[in-house]
Amino acid sequence: MSTFTDDEITAALSDLPGWSADGDAITKTYEFADFRAALDFMNRAAGPIEEMDHHPEWTNVYNRVEVRLSSHDVGEVTSRDTRLATVLERVADAS
Ligand SMILES: C[C@H](O)[C@H](O)[C@H]1CNC2=NC(N)=NC(=O)C2=N1
């Protein structure tokens, strides 16, 4: 696991549409058809999240899920965050 410089984060985000850097985290707001679809996304992501043992800060309001990824143990963005973002993209695309 490695921490990223700002330039490395920018490079990694070019493969992650809708994601942006925000301080010590990367963030994205997903929008779904309705509340159930948003919860379905969170439930389907739960398995991969547990397998990775790397957990998002996320908030659901109606059809939106705001996701914030940061590696709490080091207080920075690491490859674990960009890997989890990639997994969440895959789960959201399968919606
Ligand atoms: C003990 C366990 O591996 C850690 O608490 C994991 C769990 N999930 C985690 N998730 C995130 N985002 N950052 C962490 O540092 C972290 N640590």
What's the rounded mean pLDDT across residues 53-77?
97
Decide: 73 in ligand 1 pocket, CB within 6 A.
Answer: yes
Strand blocks (E) in 15-70: 20-22, 25-31, 57-61, 64-69
Instruction: Look at ligand 1, atom 1, and give the residue with the nearest C-alpha.
Output: 53
Residue 1, H or E segment: none
Is a pLDDT exceeding 90 seen at residue 95?
Answer: no
Residue ranges making up the domain that contains 74: 6-93
Residue 77 belongs to a domain:
yes
Domain-embedded: residue 1: no
Closest residue by Cα to atom 8, ligand 1, is: 54
pTM: 0.94
CA dist., res. 49 & res. 90, Å (int): 12
Indicate if the pLDDT at residue 2 is higher than 80.
no
Count of structural domains, the chain: 1
In a domain, 38, yes or no: yes
4-49 pLDDT, tens digit each: 888 989 999 999 999 999 999 999 999 999 999 999 999 999 999 9
Complex prediction ipTM: 0.90
User: What CATH number is given to the structural domain containing 24?
Assistant: 3.30.1360.20
Q: Is 55 a pocket residue for ligand 1 (Cβ < 6 Å)? A: yes
Instruction: Let me know if residue 81 belongs to a domain.
Output: yes
